[in-house]
Amino acid sequence: MKSKLKVWNKEVFGDLNKKINEARMQVTRLDCKGEDSDLTMEEVLQRKELLATWHHYAHQKESLLLQKSRTQWLQEGDANTRFFHACINQRMKINEIYFKTLNPTEFEMLIEPFSLQEVKAAVWDCENTKSPGPDGFNFYFIKDFWDIMQADFMSFFTDFHDHGRLVKGANNSFIVLIPKKDSPQRVEDY
């Protein structure tokens, strides 16, 4: 029976790794061609079909590996074997969380309001070209105009400390995709 199943598997599914690699290589070939020149409509459709094929075979492989792992678990899992104990120990390592006990001084530091020196040190630790928000002002600007802006920064951090929440909109971001080509078809075309 086992040999018949192997023959059936080879006839129906074939070598999944080989099929996945072939589809991936063909998609990569079309991607490289698309970087040098625009793909024809036929090539765009072919790429789309190859991606679907690649994902289909990858899903089949994932399903097969999942079934194999279940088979191994059924054969060895609850039998108090080395495999069973390895699975349990791995799960315990994943679930393990370490908490350090704080001494009273450390605890007091956590609930103290932010000091001007602490906020300034945090700002100065940031790279000058980084921008903390959608307004586009980078840290070089903030550092250069710190004397004017420090009161606003301290107000922000004091409000956060007192109320435990950020000002509405403080964590908003804007993303704009600017096309590099006339008719963008992929993310790389932006």
Report yes or no on 163 lying in a domain. yes
Q: Is the residue at 95 inside a domain?
A: no
Residues 119 and 47 in one domain: no
What local confidence, expressed as pLDDT, does residue 47 receive? 87
pLDDT at 172 (0 to 100): 64
Q: Are residues 60 and 118 in the same domain?
A: no
Is residue 23 exposed (0-12), middle (13-18) or buried (19+ Cβ within 10 Å)? buried
Main-chain dihedrals φ then ψ at residue 84, nearest 5 degrees: -60, -50
Q: Are residues 75 and 117 in the same domain?
A: no
pLDDT, position 80 = 65
- Which of 79, 96, 122 finishes a domain? 79
- Residue 86 inside a domain? The answer is no
Residue in the structure block whose two tokens are 């589809």: 23
Q: Which domain holds residue 39?
A: 2-79
pLDDT of residue 74: 59
pLDDT at 134: 62
**What local confidence, expressed as pLDDT, does residue 138 receive?**
83
Burial environment of residue 47 by CB neighbours within 10 A (0 to 12, 13 to 18, 19 or more):
buried
- 169 occurs within a structural domain: yes
The total of other beta-carbon atoms located within 10 Å of residue 57's CB is 22
Number of domains in the chain: 2
**Domain assignment of residue 97, yes or no:** no
Q: Is residue 98 part of a domain?
A: no
Q: Are residues 21 and 68 in the same domain?
A: yes
Q: How confident is the model at residue 174, as a pLDDT?
A: 65
| 84 found inside a domain | no
User: Are residues 74 and 119 both part of a single domain?
Assistant: no
Closest CA to 163 of 109, 115, 113: 113
Q: Identify the pLDDT of residue 107.
A: 80
- Residue 117 shares a structural domain with residue 190: yes
Per-residue pLDDT of the chain (190 residues; tens, 9 = 90+): 777 767 777 777 778 888 888 988 998 888 888 877 888 889 888 888 988 888 888 888 888 777 776 666 656 656 667 777 777 777 777 766 666 677 888 888 888 899 999 999 999 998 888 776 666 778 888 899 999 999 998 998 888 888 877 777 666 666 777 888 888 888 788 7
Report yes or no on 93 lying in a domain: no
Contacts of 24 (CB under 8 A, 6+ apart): 54
pLDDT of residue 98: 64
Residues 64 and 133 grouped into a single domain: no
